[in-house]
Amino acid sequence: MTKAEWRKKIKNELLSMEAKDRKAMSEKIAEQLFETKLWQNSNCIGITVSRKFELDTTFIIKKAWEEGKRICVPKCYSANKKMEFRELSSFDDLENVYMDLYEPIIEKTKDIPKENIDLLIVPGLVFDKKGYRIGYGGGYYDRFLQDYQGSTLSIAYSFQTAEQLPFEEFDVPVEQIITEEGRHI
């Protein structure tokens, strides 16, 4: 399948999930994340704020705050396809920008330099056994990851994994993938 075909297939599966199943599986995946050394040893975590049809990240963000960890979320600049991470200390510091994405309000948040992010939870639609991913097609994370030195992992439902995906030479695989069925890679 092509990247576009993968995107369509997985997005349809995400949209067809029942809310109660999404919540239960999201929490199960989050609990497995909290048991990893990557989570336990990280002080500053980069993560996206999930949209309604995606694996719910609000549980993870709240747990990080409870544990005294810093959370930063991406702010994308479409003009130059750049992305920065800004510290989030309240969901009130977010605004709905486009495509139902929630991003940090610049005036209420501060920029977190890339080198200060210990763990980056990289989003995607589908992941393969080598850690390669197909995202939404903007390329923001691929560019950000080129010189990122911290740890990376992704969280996904098991149906968002595949044996092998098409990838480009500039794609950067994640170190670990966690699904409701356990850890992979």
**Residue 93: active-site member:** no
Q: Is 21 one of the annotated active-site residues of the chain?
A: no
Give me the catalytic one of 51, 111, 143, 171.
Answer: 171
Calpha distance 73→66 (Å, rounded): 17
Q: Is the Cα dihedral 121, 123, 127, 133 positive or negative? A: negative
φ/ψ bin of 32: left (φ > 0), alpha (ψ from -120 to 50), beta (otherwise)? alpha
According to DSSP, the β-strands at 161-162 and 126-128 are parallel
Q: Token pair of 147, please?
A: 């010189």
Alpha-carbon torsion (63, 66, 70, 75), positive or negative: positive
CA distance 88 to 75: 11
Among residues 133, 143, 147, 183, which one is catalytic?
Answer: 133
Q: Which of 51, 111, 142, 143 is catalytic?
A: 142
* 133 given a catalytic annotation: yes
Catalytic residues: 133, 142, 171
